[in-house]
Amino acid sequence: MIKFFRHIRKSLLMENKTSKYFKYALGEILLVVIGILIALQINNWNEERKENLFEKKVLSEILMDTEEDLKEMKNALDSLNDTQKSSHALLSHLNDRKPYHDSLDVDFAKQFRLWSLSPNTTAFETAKTEGLHIIKNDSIRLLTAKVNEYTFDYIRVLESRFQDYKTNIVLSYTLPLFDSYNFEKMKPRNYEALIEDATYLGIVKTLSLMRKRYLENIKFRYDLLKKLNEMIKTELE
């Protein structure tokens, strides 16, 4: 088409038809401009398509990570809540000076338990590295930023404090009070003396308080991930 216009322009110049030449020259310019605009629009469409595909990929990966994390955290919360109930029941039993029963051996063992989490952060790191602007939904973008801000770092700190306290203080004092130590059962050597042992009772209370704080932080992140998970599912439908 451009060659056609050029041929006409050359003919008009040779025939000295200036007015018609300018009309055809203007048409040629308009054609070039329209071609450029069309090319730019096509390029914009392609870029937008690439961005949409990448956004969908990132959201799908975040969805997969949250699905796995929610399952693990649900198991952790169930286990921690069960341990907390056991701790409260044991302290109540000991404080009320109720007689020993072998069912207490399970509660004695539970006091040293804590669930360690292994979060999936790859998708969140990708979103953070590429820039959260790739997520067009404002609500999802803001909540993703909040999840990124509330990292697992503090949860790991709480876990480390619990384990350090248990390893460096608790076990050295409590193990001699029991015939054996494992994750299932612990039988006290002298139950009557254990009831009077204020240090042991204090240790159980401290472990319970540390576990409670750990549990609360996991529950907070669990709620964030659950909400984000539901929003992304709706967005991808």
**pLDDT tens readout for residues 46-70:** 667 778 888 899 999 999 999 999 9
The per-residue pLDDT for range 147-194, each reduced to its tens digit, is: 887 777 889 999 999 999 999 888 899 999 999 777 789 999 999 999
Place of tokens 């072998």: 102
Tell me the whole-structure pTM to 2 decimals: 0.78
Side chain identity at residue 61, one-letter code: E
Cα separation, 129 vs 131, whole angstroms: 5
SS3 188: strand
Place of tokens 């207490």: 104
Query: What are 137's two structure tokens?
Result: 């939904």
| Between 39 and 62, residue with greater pLDDT | 62
Mean pLDDT of the chain: 86
